[in-house]
Amino acid sequence: MKNILIYAYTEFNLGDDLFIKVLCDRYPDTEFSLLAPGKYKISFKGLKNLRVHASDSILIRGINFLFKKIKRSDFVHKFLVNRSDGIVHIGGSIFMQGEYWKEYFHKAETIRNKSKPYFLLGANFGPYSDDEYYQTHKELFQQYSDICFREEYSYQLFKDLRNVRLAPDIIFQLAPPESHVKENYVAISVIKPSSKGLGGYDLLYYEKMKDVAMHCIQQGFEVHFLSFCEHEGDHEAIDQIISLLPKELVPQTKIHLYTTNIEEILTVLAQSSFVVASRFHAMILGWVYHKPVFPIAYSNKMINVMQDAGFTGEYTDFAGLESLQPEQVFNSMSTNELNISTQVIQAEGHFEMLDSYLSLQSRRAYESKTEYS
């Protein structure tokens, strides 16, 4: 059995954790490793082919501390890279230019073993503000085994590289539940705008979400608030919105906070009547579960994917948030469905090259075993 090391965003973000789930479910005969906080053992206890190395354990922290003393930082990470048969870097917004991007870039390259196959799947590139960031990554990407972006904009930036491909978001491949009962509630996924670089929008956004929730309740629906990532402020955002609601309406709301229970959030979305999606993957999952979705786009990546998918329904971005009316959101319940049957098929393209690599590795292992038997 081959061992593949997974690079992913491990801050208990539902979308990124779903990437890991889809990857491991697709290759049950491959052993995967992930360096992540120990609570991820709870998140992925059902994935028998995934081994989580607890980055916050006393043992791993102690080993890294000792090796840092002799100028060999991230020893455990390097060890896992060197013992793997390849790396899959899977995620969405993993190439946003930050203030310290050069330090991060250098650290990542120090760990990378250039003799190992490296697959970059599911990402988009940017936002970025200077050409050096773009050119540095373009030179790096030429060294990767395979790159598959999830939207046209990112693909166009690098399409002249021989190893760059395009496919819709990986989560389009998540199988909808075989059966579920649609219930009379609206699911609202929230964000803390300032955590997404939208400084100055927090109070306006909370007021607008309060207005949308009130209108839905007045139309006879419950409202279920969904937090996809505590680390990025979703829990805090829900608390702020709830605090703005009239006390008599609060009993008509429920709160679902994702930490380690993936299935709970998926079930809430699958049973909803309508999804108001501030989170990127709430939008995707709403479409996967055949729900009308009203997107609240906090970045161009959401708008890019809407355009790629042919979505022509109502939505807002943050520039238009102030003029957003709750009636506009609620009325889109009858108009904002999207047929994604094409995207479901095309999204498998992310794994085209990884399929070939793992198939080749398995065949070689089999031939080696039979040769000496």
Instruction: Give, in order, the Cα–Cα distances in Å from 364 to each of 49, 55, 297, 358.
Output: 20, 33, 46, 10
Cβ atoms 20, 46 nearer than 8 A: no
Distance CA 262, CA 43 (A): 7
pLDDT band at 58 (very low <50, low <70, confident <90, very high): low
For residue 325, the Cα-to-chain-centroid distance in whole angstroms is: 29
Residues shown for the chain: 373
Q: What is the pLDDT of residue 2?
A: 86
Neighbouring CB atoms inside 10 A of 335's CB total: 11
pLDDT band at 61 (very low <50, low <70, confident <90, very high): low
Could you report the per-residue pLDDT of 269-306, keeping only the tens digit for each? 999 999 999 999 999 999 999 999 999 999 999 999 99
Distance CA 119, CA 351 (A): 9
- Amino acid (1-letter code) at residue 286: G
Q: What is the pLDDT of residue 361?
A: 66
Distance CA 39, CA 231 (A): 14
DSSP 197-239: T-TT-HHHHHHHHHHHHHHHHHTT-EEEEEES-GGGTHHHHHH
DSSP state of 175: P
Bridge-based pairing of strands 253-257 and 316-317 is unpaired
pLDDT band at 364 (very low <50, low <70, confident <90, very high): low
pLDDT band at 254 (very low <50, low <70, confident <90, very high): very high
HSE at residue 55, side-chain half, CA atoms within 13 A, is: 13
Could you report the per-residue pLDDT of 313-348, keeping only the tens digit for each? 999 999 999 999 999 999 999 888 899 999 999 999
Distance CA 144, CA 235 (A): 37
Closest CA to 322 of 239, 236, 225, 200: 200
Output the pTM of the full model: 0.91
Closest CA to 185 of 146, 145, 219, 229: 219
Distance CA 95, CA 87 (A): 17
Q: Is the pLDDT of residue 368 over 80?
A: no
Q: What is the pLDDT of residue 370?
A: 42
Tokens of 157: 């930036």
Neighbouring CB atoms inside 10 A of 317's CB total: 15
Mean pLDDT, residues 79-93 taken together: 94
Tokens 């839905």 sit at which residue?
Answer: 216
Greater pLDDT, 373 or 272: 272
Mean pLDDT computed over every residue of the chain: 91
Q: What is the pLDDT of residue 69?
A: 47
Cβ atoms 41, 52 nearer than 8 A: yes
Tokens of 351: 């794994």
Tokens 């807002």 sit at which residue?
Answer: 316
Tokens of 102: 């050069």
